[in-house]
Structure 1
Amino acid sequence: MNEDKNVYRLQGLTCMSCAAKFEKNIREIQTVEDVQLNFGASKLAVYGDVSVEQLEKAGAFDGIKVYPENQKMKEEKIPFWKKRENKNTMVSLFFLIFGYLSSFTIGEESLSTILIFALSIVIGGYDLFKVGLKNLTKLQFDMKTLMTVAIIGAAVIGEWGEGAVVVFLFALSEALESYSMDKARQSIRSLMDIAPDTAMIKRGNKEFEVAVEDIQIGDIMIIKPGQKVAMDGEVVNGQSSINQAAITGESIPVHKQKGDEVFAGSLNEEGFLEVRVTKRVEDTTIAKIIHLVEEAQAERAPSQQFVDKFAKYYTPAIMVVALLVALIPPLFLGGEWSEWIYRGLAVLVVGCPCALVISTPVAIVTAIGNAARKGVLIKGGIHLEETGRLKVVAFDKTGTLTEGKPEVTNIVSLSNTSEAELLAIAAAIEKFSQHPLASAILRQAKKEKVQEYTADDFQSITGKGAKATISDITYFIGSPKMFQEMVSIPTELQTQITDLQLQGKTVMLIGTQSEMIGYLAVADQVRKSSLSVIQKLKELGITNTVMLTGDNQATGKAIGTQLGLSDVKADLMPQDKLEAVKSLREQHGKIAMIGDGINDAPALATATVGIAMGGAGTDAALETADIALMADDLEKLPYTIALSRKTLNIIKQNVSFALGLKLLALLLIVPGWLTLWLAIFADMGATLIVVLNSLRLMKTKYN
């Protein structure tokens, strides 16, 4: 089925009920096997053989335009008041005012006044009636059907003026809701416009301007000062400061030179660069971000699933209540038919679930889009909500709380072997290792220009160290724990090791199976931002901050004390980290694990929310984590938690307000105070307040 999948972008998708109807219409096309509509991202995936014309026909009721995903949409910047439907609304308002002037001068029951109100109703409600009457014939009861019945009912019982007010307010509500959703979706559109459509490509001695779709991997891009990078690539010539805030959220430009990676959409500030293209246009980091953000906005958050389920039963229930209000008093209590039909119509209008249905998705869409612009990729509403409920944050140490660039601080020989030779043996073994501490040894060996040995039969000993053969002798390098299993460590040496560990240094012993010939001490520098991040988390109420590290207890404790962490779990193998996360989840509930997304993948997957750092540089981080901090910047963590909490609060406010206002309006029926125009005003007011409340998320900051 996937072979026939086609993805389209949509224009003119105004409301949730319109989206549901559009999806239903597409399903009825015989050649369509399945369809998935993403309202938040205004995107459509269709499985089966179907043309753009057929899809636009399915969306003709709402004027929906359909474009293939890879085709640039020609977005017409039509001012709000110049759109056809909005012009109709303004003409409708003109006749509505004229109608009320007429009713005051010649009477509301005169034929002239009725005709003026009728004109207002027909002009303002033309699009509404076209859909509503069609739905009525098919017995499909959505928002537009309810409104159509209410307006026709008002006209039948002679309430022409109120009918015209309802039409105008409903049209205005639809226009403002559409405008607000467009504002919420703007975050994705702004991401799409970040990378240029063309790039200067150098082939031989000639330079050509080439569309990004036609650029091949291996092509050389020319990027002049002030130009944006069009494709992901690697610098092969030149150096410059690159502003990559659009991708990673970093406010300070990053210096790039030969061998460094640059991202599509970043801005070259000063130097001239030649960059070898490493990814196709659909695989660039910005393309992945856009795709993941859109997928995230399509995911239904738990609160949205609840609201959708509730609305499913709520709408038929309101229709039954409206019918009972209209029939029971006249039939059994001697009430007047016109009065109670009017009240029943008011129930029908106030019962529209617009505000309720849109209360969650507009908040989720806005929050995820806002986060993406600030370099935080949240891969779904569920992860956004779970982050807002966190009780514990567990950190990996190396590269997360620390810089991840450890340095050799001590080289001590315990035998006739010189310090230089000791470093050379260590470097020969660690050349094959992936451990972060290995890079420190290799950098130190290069710096001191020690002799290069060749190591054979390298073998990593998980969580302990490594071994290899150099000049027919098998050497081991690793933790004191590993050597304790082979030889006895003298008390004096054990004291030296403990002293170094208490300073936050990691000690690696070097030797053979029968003796120790020396040791190296390596220290990883704590990030400058780590302390302030932990303090900000405490301000947010997260007092359980735990460090999970493979380092020894003394090193872990030294860093934990320095940062004010509530707990440190050290000497952990990868599987121990997994068990530690499980244990913390059982004890405290919702837990986030933050790491680099590669070594910590099992622990990230087990946590309630897995957060990866440096997502822009690693595909693994983008794939494995629930949230990716695109820059290698821990400062974005408090912002993400603050945004998630604010989103949760706004969703609760929206749902409470939408339901509360409906309930209040329904209570006004008892004394007969609920008029038709007041009912639609309550519905429109609730929808607007819910949308505007959600748009506050666009301004979320955390210093």
Structure 2
Amino acid sequence: MNTRWYKHPRTILLIIAATVTAFTLIAEIGFGLPEMWAIILYSIAIVVGGIYPARSAWVELRNGSPSINTLHIAAVIGAIYLGLWGEAAGLVVIFSLGELMESYASDKARNAIRALVELAPSEATVIRNGRQMRILTEQVEIRDIVLVRPGEKIPVDGVVTKGSTTVDQASITGESIPVSKQLGDEVFASTLNERGALEIEVTKLAQDTTLAQIIKLVEGAQMKKGKGQRFSEKFGAIYTPAMFVLAIIVAIVPPLFFGQPFDEWLYRALVVLVVSCSCGLVLSVPVAVVTGIGTAARSGVMVKGGIYIESAGSTQVVAFDKTGTLTVGKPSVTDLVTVSDLSNKQLLEIAGALEKQSEHPLADAIMEETLNKKITIPDVEEFDSLTGRGAKGKINGNNYYIGNPRLFNELKVNINKDHVMQIEKLQGQGKTVMLLGTANEVLGMIAVADRPKENAKQAIQSLKEAGVKKVVMLTGDNRLTGEAIGKELGVDEVRAELLPEDKINAVKELQKQYGQVAMVGDGVNDAPALAQADVGIAMGVQGTDVALETADIALMQDNLDQLVYTLKLSKKTVSKIDQNIAISLAIVAFLVVTALIGVMPLTLGLIINEGSALIIIANAMFLRRYQWKKEGIRTKNNASDIPLTNVE
């Protein structure tokens, strides 16, 4: 971590320079301090306060890239030439104060990183050879057993080997509701153990935990520059030399060609140099980007650089992977249809008994449904798995079959017209239909599907209200399933039966047609499409190393509301960047024009100039208010409940 702004030697030198300048000014005006002593004291202030700006200006000149520091030093030298020692000292103090404000703004914007670092406990209780010992977290080794008592923070990532509890995971995922943890569950460093004692087997060293990766990502994000930052740098490369040329023209042309007083026009040239040293212009982009990234990090959203927060803010199309992103990601029972004297309960009892020994994913859906409905499953005899078709077994002395329609066709069971219509209706909704019956008749149907997430429809609507022009679903599923899910959720377009390379081509087509495209997926299977998109967003990636590495933006919760928050915050950040640039350019234009016509005094111009930096900083800091409402995580009623505060 860098030295905090108030501990930096530059701050100490500024305090000395400001004190000497103020003392000299008071002594000169109030007590008639001799001019020679005043010059000596002002010189001390100039030297002490100008060490860092002069050093920076010298390096810039050597590298052939003059900047605002160079303009500043040139203005100070010009003021000294005109004998304006007090003004020269004032220039040094006020400009250095502006740089101090920049450091303070950056420090505040990076508080999220420091807060993350301070989350993890520095010590851990390890059980080795049957003995408990307290050691530094950095000394904990993989496969060590760590004891975490109630009320303590978990020091490392690991898996629960003993005990059960609830854990507050807000520091990693942003979710407010504590999560139940028991044998075999994964836990993360910095999260809070609330109730029971846990023994945890360490799976990652302290420097490799999910928290450590998040800190590295947020720190690295500040090095990746977006279009706004690149514009600022390109503009500065032209702007600074142009101001030098303008100042030289102002100082030389009127005296040389029009017989004007040299000192008067040199003074105007100095004012041009001073007011063109715009701290606000320098700060306009980076302070907004860093504040946006820090604000996102505190809400469980990891943005890997300014380029990605700007891209997300300009998104025209959002493309979703279906499975695990818009849907739960595992099949569940959606319909129970009896076509006999059996009740739904009896249908589930027989199906559960047959599927209890099956390893098919659809069997898991039926077993979960029996568990949810608290169904008592009878014993099954003579069980046999019929590969690719279903299963059979004897229950209470009767033989039963469960499987796809093909199985019952092979058994030559009569599937009447009404049954066929019901099957086709369910399949048309994107559901897989299993039949339950005997060798003579169909007794019932069970439909299974991957359900949409409960807030998916609302989130898609909220994206459209936030300015996204089109929402597209990309899936490898068959067209019937894809279109059924898409229609239910309200997406604008469904592209189905896609291989990974097809998803890349789909993203390319959307980019060509609409411009900026965001791709949302799990960060692993969708890696090619995530890479092709202008911004790749991975959802629910706590503990998933690959997803953290491949995505441009990583949402630590598997929650679509967090995606809506991310795009809204990104749009707000882009808006703040545009506002800051416009404000800075307007102030600079006003100051330069008034300097050229001779109505702007040197000191007042400098004060207004530095004041513009305060406006820019304050405007960017408003982004810190746009936090994701933790209590709004489970909102499901309407689009107005999107968990984002203060969004206009």
What TM-score comes out, normalization by structure 1 length? 0.75
Query: What is the CA–CA distance in structure 2 between the aligned matches of 1:205 and 1:534, rounded to whole Å?
Result: 53
Query: Is the counterpart of residue 11 in structure 1 residue 3 in structure 2?
Result: yes
Select which of 533, 536, 542 maps to 1:610: 536
Give the secondary-structure state (helix, strand or coil) at the position aligned to 1:298.
coil
Select which of 452, 460, 463 maps to 1:537: 463
Instruction: Decide whether aligned partners of structure 1 residues 427 and 677 sit closer, same or farther in structure 2, where only a CA change above 3 A counts.
Output: farther
Query: What is the CA–CA distance in structure 2 between the aligned matches of 1:135 and 1:598, rounded to whole Å?
Result: 44
Query: What is the CA–CA distance in structure 2 between the aligned matches of 1:374 and 1:216, rounded to whole Å?
Result: 30
Query: What is the CA–CA distance in structure 1 between the aligned matches of 2:68 and 2:251, rounded to whole Å?
Result: 19
Residue 257 (structure 1) shift = 0.9
1:27 — aligned with what?
none
Residues 88-103 of structure 1 aligned to structure 2 (within 5 Å): 88-101=13-26
Give the secondary-structure state (helix, strand or coil) at the position aligned to 1:598.
coil
Structure with larger RCO (C-alpha < 8 A, sep 6+): 2
Query: Is the counterpart of residue 381 in structure 1 residue 306 in structure 2?
Result: yes
1:204 — aligned with what?
129
Instruction: Decide whether aligned partners of structure 1 residues 282 and 112 sit closer, same or farther in structure 2, where only a CA change above 3 A counts.
Output: closer
Instruction: Decide whether aligned partners of structure 1 residues 209 and 660 sit closer, same or farther in structure 2, where only a CA change above 3 A counts.
Output: same
Query: Is the counterpart of residue 329 in structure 1 residue 248 in structure 2?
Result: no
Q: Which runs of 5+ in 2 are unaligned?
A: 340-346, 394-400, 628-643
Residue 568 (structure 1) shift = 3.8
Instruction: Decide whether aligned partners of structure 1 residues 647 and 479 sit closer, same or farther in structure 2, where only a CA change above 3 A counts.
Output: farther
Query: What is the CA–CA distance in structure 1 between the aligned matches of 2:231 and 2:436, rounded to whole Å?
Result: 60
Query: What is the CA–CA distance in structure 1 between the aligned matches of 2:167 and 2:626, rounded to whole Å?
Result: 26
CA contact (8 A) 2:278 2:610 kept: no
How many residue pairs were aligned? 604
Query: What is the CA–CA distance in structure 2 between the aligned matches of 1:684 and 1:291, rounded to whole Å?
Result: 33
Amino acid at match of 1:658: S
Residues 445-524 of structure 1 aligned to structure 2 (within 5 Å): 448=377, 494-501=420-427, 505-507=431-433, 520-524=446-450
Query: Is the counterpart of residue 259 in structure 1 residue 158 in structure 2?
Result: no
Moved more, 550-559 or 302-311: 550-559
Residue 150 (structure 1) shift = 1.8
Deviation per CA, 1:356-377, whole angstroms, max 9, x where unpaired? 3332222222211211121111
Query: What is the CA–CA distance in structure 2 between the aligned matches of 1:141 and 1:578, rounded to whole Å?
Result: 43
Instruction: Decide whether aligned partners of structure 1 residues 184 and 477 sit closer, same or farther in structure 2, where only a CA change above 3 A counts.
Output: farther
Select which of 594, 598, 620 maps to 2:546: 620
1:650 — aligned with what?
576
1:290 — aligned with what?
215
Query: Is the counterpart of residue 672 in structure 1 residue 603 in structure 2?
Result: no
Deviation per CA, 1:29-65, whole angstroms, max 9, x where unpaired? xxxxxxxxxxxxxxxxxxxxxxxxxxxxxxxxxxxxx
CA contact (8 A) 1:395 1:401 kept: yes
Instruction: Decide whether aligned partners of structure 1 residues 528 and 164 sit closer, same or farther in structure 2, where only a CA change above 3 A counts.
Output: same
Amino acid at match of 2:524: I
1:528 — aligned with what?
454
Query: What is the CA–CA distance in structure 2 between the aligned matches of 1:131 and 1:550, rounded to whole Å?
Result: 56
Residue 648 (structure 1) shift = 0.6
Query: What is the CA–CA distance in structure 2 between the aligned matches of 1:656 and 1:119, rounded to whole Å?
Result: 38
1:594 — aligned with what?
520
Deviation per CA, 1:457-508, whole angstroms, max 9, x where unpaired? x9xxxxxxx789999xxx998899xx9xxxx998655422232245663336
Identical-residue share of aligned pairs (%): 44
Amino acid at match of 2:566: T
Moved more, 111-120 or 346-355: 111-120
1:235 — aligned with what?
160
Residue 455 (structure 1) shift = 7.3
Query: What is the CA–CA distance in structure 2 between the aligned matches of 1:311 and 1:119, rounded to whole Å?
Result: 31
CA contact (8 A) 1:593 1:611 kept: yes
2:555 — aligned with what?
629
Give the secondary-structure state (helix, strand or coil) at the position aligned to 2:329.
coil
CA contact (8 A) 1:403 1:526 kept: yes
Residue 625 (structure 1) shift = 1.9
Query: What is the CA–CA distance in structure 1 between the aligned matches of 2:415 and 2:316, rounded to whole Å?
Result: 42
Query: What is the CA–CA distance in structure 2 between the aligned matches of 1:139 and 1:678, rounded to whole Å?
Result: 31
Instruction: Decide whether aligned partners of structure 1 residues 122 and 618 sit closer, same or farther in structure 2, where only a CA change above 3 A counts.
Output: closer
Instruction: Decide whether aligned partners of structure 1 residues 260 and 450 sit closer, same or farther in structure 2, where only a CA change above 3 A counts.
Output: farther
Residue 384 (structure 1) shift = 0.9
Instruction: Decide whether aligned partners of structure 1 residues 155 and 208 sit closer, same or farther in structure 2, where only a CA change above 3 A counts.
Output: same
Query: What is the CA–CA distance in structure 1 between the aligned matches of 2:58 and 2:222, rounded to whole Å?
Result: 32
1:64 — aligned with what?
none
Query: What is the CA–CA distance in structure 2 between the aligned matches of 1:353 and 1:325, rounded to whole Å?
Result: 19
Residue 610 (structure 1) shift = 2.0
Select which of 83, 98, 105 maps to 1:158: 83
What TM-score comes out, normalization by structure 2 length? 0.81
Residue 256 (structure 1) shift = 0.8
Residues 120-519 of structure 1 aligned to structure 2 (within 5 Å): 120-129=45-54, 141-352=66-277, 354-409=279-334, 430-431=359-360, 439-440=364-365, 443=368, 448=377, 494-501=420-427, 505-507=431-433
CA contact (8 A) 1:662 1:682 kept: no
CA contact (8 A) 2:157 2:186 kept: yes
Query: Is the counterpart of residue 548 in structure 1 residue 479 in structure 2?
Result: no
Query: What is the CA–CA distance in structure 1 between the aligned matches of 2:173 and 2:435, rounded to whole Å?
Result: 39
2:342 — aligned with what?
none
Amino acid at match of 1:149: A
CA contact (8 A) 1:107 1:113 kept: no
Instruction: Decide whether aligned partners of structure 1 residues 618 and 106 sit closer, same or farther in structure 2, where only a CA change above 3 A counts.
Output: closer
